[in-house]
Amino acid sequence: MEMLTKAERDRLQSRLDALVSNRKVISQRIAEARALGDLKENGDYHAAREQQGMEEAEIRRLEERLATSSVVDEAHRSVGIVFIGATVRLCEDGSEEVETFRLVGEASGTISEEVFEVTATSPMGEALMKSRVGEVISVRTPRGLKKFKVVEIL
């Protein structure tokens, strides 16, 4: 089961709502293209049908994700334990540089120089989940095992 913050769930729901409301527009495009005649060489018709198929697949995927996901109640988070929605400062073993990470259920896709987003299902996310300040976590990366010390939970 996937865990999401309320904001992440709302973002998925709004994307689903936009796709569902676009069904009528695509159906209209298909009808207009069909009215032009020969469907074998009708590029507008084929493009509209392809878009309809991709959007319907996305609708099914979003509905499945929303049905099987759980929203994390951030008000009841344990203080001092990393959970979804937490922002954490980490220091790599053997380095003095401190980096800031946010544990998310679904990456927002926004790029920030201050905070790195890690999903709960990534190796870093799995290692961070339920860690505490002062604890050293191990993360299996393509370049081998890396260790990080949890410096602070913001």
Q: Could you tell me the residue ranges of all domains in the chain?
A: 3-71, 74-153
CB neighbour class for 124 (10 Å; exposed up to 12, middle 13-18, buried from 19): buried
CATH number of 3-71: 1.10.287.180
- Cβ within 8 Å of residue 4, ≥6 positions away: 12, 69, 70, 71, 72, 84, 105, 106
CATH number of 74-153: 3.10.50.30
State the pLDDT at residue 74. 66
Report percent pLDDT > 90 for the chain.
Answer: 52
- 23-37 mean pLDDT: 91
Q: What is the pTM of this model?
A: 0.67
Q: Which helix (H) or strand (E) holds 150?
A: strand 144-153
